[in-house]
């Protein structure tokens, strides 16, 4: 039974939201409530979710939202994608959302840089949920300073040979198509190229990693030992891979900010439901001023974030690239999620400390939002530069 929704959180009432946006929101919500939420606890405890879910998500068009129709996608604008990300996050199981969405960080560079026959071979199948995509940038030696990566690709007859390792890769175990960043030139950002590697390539080994949160998502270390990649599987120009990956960052940060917001909303709604029922000292929790003020304080952090993200999505739709604002929004979303998960868990008392609720998962999962997709400090530095502080 889905938790009742707080009318104040209804995005559909905000200016600029069209009927088309509301249809996207309703479709994603129906999918989350029908196909994900009933299994959330079981999948999280199992540390995995069925591969079948990709196909189901592909069938209803969820995996293809925002991608061109010619590759099997359903074009929607950034506002539509924002609403979709928030609805997915409100499901309150970040591991499933991260796994289902692992293609979103790898497909944009493929769209922008792969050869047409490679695009046709890879993109429709991922958007239909028949195959799974992953992006492999981060290495054991570090992820923040991407330009220093050391995995190497050497020219060999007919293509390239990749040797090195990658770390923390979402869908790394199950992925059929892995977009790998490797050094083909000199030091720094100008020596990096991208390659599409098959999941079953000879010389590729994958090891699962256990995590504090996102249990249902597969996260892996990848080892490349002279993995052969045919020439036509280079994505973009030689030594121009860094730029392609950078172009993806705005969208990734918007998705993570929306994820933090959506899970913060879910925490507040579950805590409110509890506070309306639970009684202490002769009255319902909500009747204790300290508790209802705690809830109101969370709501007054959430409402401005809704308006800010909507405005940022509208700016992206207008062709702007508000990279500094998006870096701050990503950080803000992560803090919002952390604070709302913590306060909501407190309202549930001992019950909040038990496993198997949206609040408990958010409390564990929030840390990854401060690290993945650019650590908090790196985002602050980016914002300082973009907003003209330096």
Q: How far is the CB of 23 from ligand FAD (least distance, A)?
A: 30
Q: Which of 6, 128, 201, 371 binds ligand FAD (CB under 6 A)?
A: 371
Q: Which of residues 124-163 bind ligand FAD (CB under 6 A)?
A: 134-138, 142-144
Which tokens belong to 74? 């359903």
Nearer to ligand FAD, 24 or 180 (CB): 180
The DSSP call for residue 346 is H
Give the nearer residue to ligand FAD in terms of CB position, either 274 or 363: 363
User: Per-residue contact track with ligand FAD, 188 to 217, x per CB under 6 A?
Assistant: -----------------------x--x---
Q: Is residue 244 near ligand FAD by the rule CB under 6 A?
A: no
Q: How far apart are CA 40 and CA 44, in angstroms?
A: 6
Complex with ligand FAD: residue 179 or 302, whichever CB lies closer: 179
Identity of the residue, 166 or 233, whose beta carbon is nearer to ligand FAD in the bound complex: 166
Does residue 38 belong to the site contacting ligand FAD (CB under 6 A)? Answer: no
Please tell me whether residue 378 binds ligand FAD under the rule CB under 6 A.
yes
CB atoms near residue 207 (< 10 Å): 11
> Which of 27, 323, 375, 384 is in the footprint of ligand FAD by CB under 6 A?
375
Kindly state the smallest distance separating residue 215's Cβ from ligand FAD, in Å: 10
Specify whether the CB–CB gap between 204 and 151 falls below 8 A.
Answer: no
| Residue 381 binding ligand FAD, by CB under 6 A | yes
Q: Is the dihedral of CA 29, 35, 41, 46 positive or negative?
A: negative
Helix (H) or strand (E) holding 133: strand 133-136
Stretch that binds ligand FAD, among 109-117, 166-174, 294-302, 328-336 (CB under 6 A): 166-174
Could you give the count of Cα atoms lying within 13 Å of 316 in the half-sphere of its Cβ? Answer: 26
Quote the DSSP letter at residue 173.
Answer: T
**What's the token pair of residue 301?**
């952090």
Confirm or reject binding of residue 230 to ligand FAD (CB under 6 A): no
Q: Which residue has the closest beta carbon to ligand FAD?
A: 143
Q: Which of 281, 275, 289, 259 is nearest to 362 (CA)?
A: 259
How far is it, in rounded angstroms, from Cα 265 to Cα 344?
Answer: 10
Q: Which is nearer to ligand FAD, 61 or 92 (CB)?
A: 92
Which residues, other chains included, contact 180 with Cβ-Cβ below 8 Å and sequence gap of 6+? 136, 151, 162, 166, 194, 195, 196, 197, 224
- The nearer residue to ligand FAD, 255 or 306, going by C-beta atoms, is 255
Interface residue with ligand FAD among 11, 31, 49, 168 (CB under 6 A) is 168
List all residues 6 or more positions away from 316 whose beta carbon is below 8 Å from its beta carbon.
78, 250, 254, 322
Handedness of CA 276, 277, 280, 284 (dihedral sign): positive
Whichever of 291 and 334 has its CB closer to ligand FAD, that residue is 334
| Position 372 contacts ligand FAD (CB under 6 A) | yes
Among 48, 74, 104, 170, binds ligand FAD (CB under 6 A): 170
What is the total count of residues that contact ligand FAD (CB under 6 A)?
A: 23
242 binds ligand FAD per the rule CB under 6 A: no
Minimum Å gap between C-beta 247 and ligand FAD is 15
H-type alpha helices, the chain: 19-31, 40-46, 52-59, 78-90, 94-100, 107-113, 116-127, 241-277, 289-317, 323-348, 358-369, 376-386
- Binding ligand FAD (rule: CB under 6 A), the pick from 178, 368, 379, 382 is 368
What residues make contact with ligand FAD under the rule CB under 6 A? 134-138, 142-144, 168-170, 211, 214, 219, 368, 371-375, 377-378, 381
């Amino acid at each position: 039974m889905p938790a009742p929704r707080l009318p104040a959180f209804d995005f559909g009432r905000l200016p600029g939201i069209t009927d088309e946006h509301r249809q996207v929101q309703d479709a994603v919500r129906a999918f989350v409530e029908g196909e994900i939420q009933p299994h959330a606890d079981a999948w999280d405890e199992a540390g995995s979710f069925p591969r079948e879910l990709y196909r189901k998500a592909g069938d209803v068009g969820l995996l293809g939202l925002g991608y061109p129709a010619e590759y099997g996608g359903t074009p929607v604008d950034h506002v539509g994608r924002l609403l979709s990300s928030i609805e997915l996050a409100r499901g309150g199981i970040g591991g499933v959302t991260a796994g289902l969405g692992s293609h979103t960080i790898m497909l944009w560079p493929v769209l922008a840089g792969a050869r047409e026959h490679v695009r046709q071979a890879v993109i429709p199948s991922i958007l239909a949920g028949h195959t799974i995509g992953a992006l492999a940038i981060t290495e054991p030696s570090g992820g923040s300073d991407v330009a220093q990566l050391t995995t190497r690709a050497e020219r060999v007859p007919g293509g390239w040979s990749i040797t090195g390792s990658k770390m923390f890769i979402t869908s790394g175990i199950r992925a059929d198509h892995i977009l790998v960043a490797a050094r083909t030139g000199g030091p720094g950002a100008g020596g990096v190229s991208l390659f599409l590697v098959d999941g079953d390539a000879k010389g590729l080994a994958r090891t699962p990693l256990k995590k504090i949160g996102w249990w249902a998502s597969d996260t892996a270390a990848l080892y490349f030992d002279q993995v052969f990649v045919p020439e036509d599987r280079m994505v973009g120009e030689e030594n121009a891979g860094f730029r392609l990956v950078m172009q993806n960052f705005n969208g990734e940060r918007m998705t993570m900010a929306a994820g933090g917001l959506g899970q913060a909303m879910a925490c507040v709604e579950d805590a409110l439901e509890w506070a309306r029922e639970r009684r202490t000292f002769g009255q319902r929790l909500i009747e204790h001023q300290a508790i209802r003020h705690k809830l109101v304080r969370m709501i007054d952090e959430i409402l401005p974030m809704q308006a800010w993200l909507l405005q940022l999505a509208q700016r992206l739709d207008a062709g702007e690239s508000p990279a500094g604002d998006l870096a701050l929004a990503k950080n803000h979303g992560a803090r919002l999620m952390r604070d709302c998960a913590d306060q909501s868990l407190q309202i549930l008392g001992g019950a909040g400390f038990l496993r198997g609720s949206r609040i408990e998962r958010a409390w564990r999962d929030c840390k990854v939002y401060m690290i993945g997709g650019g650590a908090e400090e790196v985002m602050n530095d980016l914002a300082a530069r973009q907003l003209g502080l330096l």
